[in-house]
Amino acid sequence: MIQMPPYPLIAKYLATQSTPQEDVELLAWRNALPENEKLFAELSAEWELANKNFRAENIIPDKEKIWNKIQKQIHPLVISYPKSFVIRVASIAATVALLIGLSISFLVNDKITEIPILTSTFIAPQGQKSQLVLADGTKVWLNSGTSLTYTNKFGDKDRKLELKGEAFFDVIKNKDLKFVVSTGKVNVVVHGTAFNVKSYPADENIAVSLLRGKVDVVSSENSKSIALLAPGQRVVVGKMNLTSKIEKCDAEIDGIWRLEKLKFEGATIAEVAEKLGKWYGLNIEVKDADKFQKYWFTVKSESVQDILKSMNGLHPIKYSIKGNTVEISSR
């Protein structure tokens, strides 16, 4: 079981709001493992860096206001770690921005000065999935090799995110703040809904599948609508010229990876290889792809060797595994 670092304790310590007992608890955690002390040192350094432009004698912290804002920053963000789900914060500065609240205000000469807006990036490493709950209550699942970036204004002044990879969103409704997922040339705009977005940098197309609600897929350049989706529809948009195609789909299957399963129904070998590669964090190469039949099967907790054996039972194939690379060819 993955144990979360005691971010609230770290936040209180760096904001000089911790009690002696909390200092003891924090020290015990720091001494438990070398990596704990390393993380603490990194966070402390970022905190000092963020505040180096303020002269201590000119700053009178409004302690109640500071702690309220720290609490506001800490509690809305809930990161969960179901079995085999791993999440990694890509930037230490981003961690500080979220957990310590670098947007906290200081009372300087009777005026409140805001520290600059910072961005936060979450990454699901190759072969792993991640889950988090955003400040507005929206649930997000990140597929293998995916990053999600947003600022500490999220949930307060806007609900904008940048996605690279694949994610499933279960968005909390807010009529005043639209939820916008940017994938580069295309934005997905919603108020409250559940949908899957697939847009890895290497992909030629962007695919959006809608489970419930409504989403508007628009050009990021001119905000022109490309597709307005209804539940059970998928739009595939070409990145080069924004040509689009709307088709019927099973959006639950498109986003089923978030439930620790993959389901193939009439999938080509290229589709199987792509999804299995991300699932297991492997590079799967296929030769003579046009000679393969289509596949119907479900993946849960099987090893890649077990999957390849099952595929061989469905349609005879040759395969080899060398390190992180799998080669598949027809017999």
Q: CA–CA separation, 100 vs 14, rounded Å?
A: 8
Do both 33 and 79 map to the same domain? Answer: yes
In this prediction, residue 57 carries a pLDDT of 40
Answer whether residue 1 is part of any domain: no
Q: CA–CA separation, 25 vs 198, rounded Å?
A: 42
- For residue 314, the domain's CATH number is 3.55.50.30
Q: CA–CA separation, 147 vs 209, rounded Å?
A: 19
* pTM check: above 0.75: no
- Whether the pLDDT of residue 81 is over 80: the answer is no
- Measured CA to CA in angstroms, residue 190 lies from 216, 250, 253, 331 at distances of 7, 20, 21, 47
Among 262, 254, 56, CA closest to 169: 254
- Pair 233, 210: CB distance under 8 Å: yes
Do both 187 and 281 map to the same domain? Answer: no
Q: In sequence order, what are the beta bridge partners of 149? A: 121, 162
Cα pseudo-dihedral 48, 54, 57, 62, rounded to 10? -90
Answer whether residue 41 is part of any domain: yes
**What is the residue range of 115's domain?**
7-253
Among 314, 306, 207, CA closest to 269: 314
What confidence category does residue 42 fall into, taking pLDDT thresholds of 50, 70 and 90?
A: confident
Domain end position, chosen among 193, 219, 253: 253
What confidence category does residue 118 fall into, taking pLDDT thresholds of 50, 70 and 90?
A: confident
Find tokens 């002390």 and name the residue.
37
What confidence category does residue 114 fall into, taking pLDDT thresholds of 50, 70 and 90?
A: low
Do both 96 and 165 map to the same domain? Answer: yes
Q: CA–CA separation, 132 vs 152, rounded Å?
A: 15
Q: CA–CA separation, 160 vs 98, rounded Å?
A: 15
Number of domains in the chain: 2
Least confident stretch, 19-23, 48-52, 261-265: 48-52
Domain end position, chosen among 253, 283, 313: 253
Do both 121 and 216 map to the same domain? Answer: yes
Mean pLDDT along residues 53-69: 44
What confidence category does residue 93 fall into, taking pLDDT thresholds of 50, 70 and 90?
A: very low
Q: In sequence order, what are the beta bridge partners of 113? A: 106
In this prediction, residue 116 carries a pLDDT of 67
Would you tell me how many other CB atoms lie within 10 Å of the CB of residue 3? Answer: 10
